[in-house]
Amino acid sequence: MAASTLTRKEQIARDLAHVPHKPGSTKPDPIIVADHVTRRFGGMTAVDVHHLEIQRGAITALIGPNGAGKTTLFNLLTGFDRPNSGEWSFEGTPLSRMSAAKVARSGMVRTFQLTKALSRMTVLENMRLGATGQPGENMLTSLFPPAWKGREDDITEQALELLARFKLDTKKDDFAGSLSGGQRKLLEMARALMTNPTTVMLDEPMAGVNPALTQSLLGHIEGLRDEGMTVLFVEHDMHMVRHISDWVVVMAEGRVVAEGPPTTIMQDQAVVDAYLGAHHDTDLGDDSLLDDDVIDQLEEEAEAEEHSRAEDGE
């Protein structure tokens, strides 16, 4: 497992080695290609991306100060918002102006900065809802259980496997609304995976999650890459970004201002400027935090905390 992880990560590093470290650089095997995407709110330009390519099978981090337009770009790419101009394609198919549901069905699935757990549904029902190809989701077919029970059993099996992987299997019959913030993030991610996506877009998957659960989240994200999925995620914390991403795209004031591998990106003058403009106290990385011992310890602490939270009824 560890060996294959390394190979995969190394492989991607090799593919990206010759990509120039500048905004809008072309990638050897892009899965998403966007051109001239703009979105204005009143007089303010939230997104103004000239050219952006996302490498297939890699973990790309999208960073930038608050208000840089990261969420808006996510909304545009996934069909939740309409651009003022611009085109983009996913796996070679033009996606601009396609509905959010169709984008998801084409294999690009997202999560939200503000977690959208379906509170008054159980964890397992949340998961089942993510599944595709359930004939019982048709109004008339749904009245004849024999027509959909078989698929439902497969879906349930898939859901239980994923829940076990995300350590939520013991919660499967609880209402999603009773989970802690971190568990809800995990559930949202697991639910998105029920659609069998080729690309997952995670908007601040670590926000509001206690530091230790973050480590297992990072592990899950790396796991997705190792299964061959493309991951694009938004994050503020440079520790996290440096730890797991293969490539980093930096946005500021709606534009892509820098691109590069995580090891060198923070030395880029444009990035320093962007961050100094916003929060100058950003600590640009202390990797000792991510030692395996420290990670294990944090994880234990987090689990203990999750338990006590659950027992308090939160």
Partner 1 sequence: MDWTRILTNVAGELFAPATAAYALAAIGLNVHFGMTGLINMGQAGFMLMGAYGFAIATMNGWPVWAAVLAGLIAAAIFAIILGIPTLQLRGDYLAIVTIAAAEIARYTVRSSSLTWLTGGNAGISGNDFKGSFQNLCPLPEGSWALGPFQYSNCLSNSWWLRIVGWSLVAIAVVLVWRWMKSPWGRVLKGIREDEDAVRSLGKNVYSYKMQALVLGGLFGALGGMIYVLPSAVQADALGRTLTFNVWTILLLGGAATVFGPVLGSLIMWAVLMLIKSVLRDMPWDVITSTQAEAFSWVLVGVTLMVLVIFRPQGILGDPKEVAIDGR
Ligand X SMILES: Nc1ncnc2c1ncn2[C@@H]1O[C@H](COP(=O)(O)OP(=O)(O)O)[C@@H](O)[C@H]1O
Among 23, 30, 57, 69, binds ligand X (CB under 6 A): 69
- Residue 43 or residue 133: which is nearer to ligand X going by CB? 43
> DSSP assignment, residue 133?
-
Taking CB under 8 A as the rule, does residue 178 contact partner 1? yes
Which residue shows structure tokens 């703009």? Answer: 38
# residues near partner 1 by CB under 8 A: 42
End-to-end CA distance of the chain: 36
- Tell me which stretch binds Mg ion (CB under 5 A): 27-35, 108-116, 205-213, 249-257: 108-116
Taking CB under 8 A as the rule, does residue 78 contact partner 1? yes
Taking CB under 8 A as the rule, does residue 97 contact partner 1? no
Please enumerate in sequence order all residues whose Cβ is within 8 A of that of 1, keeping only pairs 6 or more positions apart, or say none: none
Report CA-CA distances (Å) from 236 to 138, 200, 207, 230: 41, 18, 9, 20
Q: Rounded to the nearest whole angstrom, what is the least distance from the CB of residue 162 to ligand X in the complex?
A: 27
- Tell me which stretch binds partner 1 (CB under 8 A): 128-136, 224-232, 265-273, 280-288: 128-136
Among 121, 289, 290, 310, binds partner 1 (CB under 8 A): 121
Taking CB under 5 A as the rule, does residue 71 contact Mg ion? yes
- Residue 137 or residue 286: which is nearer to partner 1 going by CB? 137
Taking CB under 6 A as the rule, does residue 46 contact ligand X? yes
Report CA-CA distances (Å) from 152 to 124, 159, 176, 228: 12, 10, 20, 26
Among 31, 32, 189, 194, binds partner 1 (CB under 8 A): 194
In 117-180, alpha helices (H): 123-130, 149-165
Q: Which does 19 bind (CB under 5 to 8 A by kind): Mg ion, partner 1, ligand X, none?
A: none
Taking CB under 8 A as the rule, does residue 128 contact partner 1? yes
How many angstroms separate the CA atoms of 209 and 242, rounded?
Answer: 18
Taking CB under 6 A as the rule, does residue 71 contact ligand X? yes
Tokens of 31: 């899965």
Among 111, 180, 183, 245, binds partner 1 (CB under 8 A): 111
Tokens of 92: 């070679």
Could you say which residues in the range 139-158 bind partner 1, by CB under 8 A? 139, 141-143, 145, 148, 152
- Residue 103 or residue 241: which is nearer to partner 1 going by CB? 103
Tokens of 247: 């490539």
Which residue shows structure tokens 């390519």? Answer: 53
Pairing status of strand 247-252 against strand 255-260:
antiparallel
How many angstroms separate the CA atoms of 126 and 190, rounded?
Answer: 9
What is the Cβ-side half-sphere exposure of residue 295, based on CA atoms within 13 angstroms?
14
Helix (H) / strand (E) element for 30: namely: strand 30-41
Taking CB under 6 A as the rule, does residue 66 contact ligand X? yes
- Tell me which stretch binds Mg ion (CB under 5 A): 113-121, 127-135, 170-178, 298-306: 113-121
- Residue 166 or residue 233: which is nearer to ligand X going by CB? 233
Residues interacting with ligand X, by CB under 6 A? 41, 46, 64, 66-72
